Amino acid sequence: MPHRILCIFFSFIVALNALAQGRPFISQPYDHITTDIQEHVYGWKNNRLDLYDADGNLLYYYTNPSLGFISKVDASIPTKIMVYHEESNTIVLLNNKLAPIGNPIHLIDFQIQTPVLPAMFGINRLACYNETNQQIILIDLDMSQIDVVNCQFDMEFHPQFMVADHNFEQLLLSDSAAGIAIYDRFASFQKWIPVQGIQYLQLQNNILYYLKDDSIYSNDLNTLWSPSIIVWHGGLVAFSKVLSNWYLLSSNGSIDKLSIRR
């Protein structure tokens, strides 16, 4: 236990030192962020998505006002970036320069109505959770196959997030008021974690990272539920982790970059 406390304390000091060095890593205000395995940073607000390199330089941007605002970006595959326009219930796939790949995917064509939580769930596969019907719909991107899995919940469950592991072996649905439902790569239910208050989350190598009360925690899903705190950052609304680097989105829309060694 003393060693664990020391590691957490050291991580906290590194984080504080990084935050004290001056202006944010990216000062342009955004509502949402994510990253990819090449440590590109994606920030979006309304109907515009910007792509930055690891040094915070703006490289490319994408916008399509006719499709409405962007509510989700999934950069799990940097050469096939998923952008979800919630107003038009449409998914656009982009290449690594944020240029569209093929035609927009209108989810209504598959009888998938809003509200929808979409995510990449394979190199050529999308997963969409439809709350109205409580279904997970798996869509092959070449449109050759659609699988529908019915989810049965014996409680009120209204997830705000759906995320997949980087190797697409697990899919998580998270409701801050109820908990987390975990599914395997076939969208078969695996287990339930009754943790409440999660404001944001990310899954990597079977380790769940989540935001709660301005603090980021981690917990290995192969072990008993015993989360460890990674860092506290006042006004934190979202984050994205790549290797030892963390990108933190503050309530003012700016992005900080921390290198946390544990």
Predicted confidence (pLDDT) per residue in 170-184, tens digit: 999 999 999 999 999
Residue 200's pLDDT is 97
Q: Mean pLDDT across the stretch 47-65?
A: 97
Average pLDDT over residues 196-205: 95
pTM: 0.90
pLDDT band at 2 (very low <50, low <70, confident <90, very high): very low
Q: How far is CA 168 from the centre of its chain?
A: 13
pLDDT band at 161 (very low <50, low <70, confident <90, very high): very high
Distances (CA, A) of 232 to 19, 44, 189: 11, 24, 32
> Are the C-beta atoms of 158 and 115 separated by less than 8 Å?
no
Mean pLDDT over 148-160 rounds to 91
Domain 31-110 has CATH 2.40.10.480: yes
pLDDT value of residue 155: 87
Query: Rounded to whole angstroms, what are the CA distances from 193 to 149, 176, 200, 203, 243?
Result: 20, 11, 15, 14, 25
Per-residue pLDDT band at 213 (split at 50, 70, 90): very high
Residue 254 CA, chain-centre distance (Å), reads: 18
| Average pLDDT of the segment spanning 64-91 | 97
Query: What residue type is 114 in one-letter code?
Result: T
Strands 245-250 and 207-212: unpaired
pLDDT range class, residue 145, cuts 50, 70, 90: confident
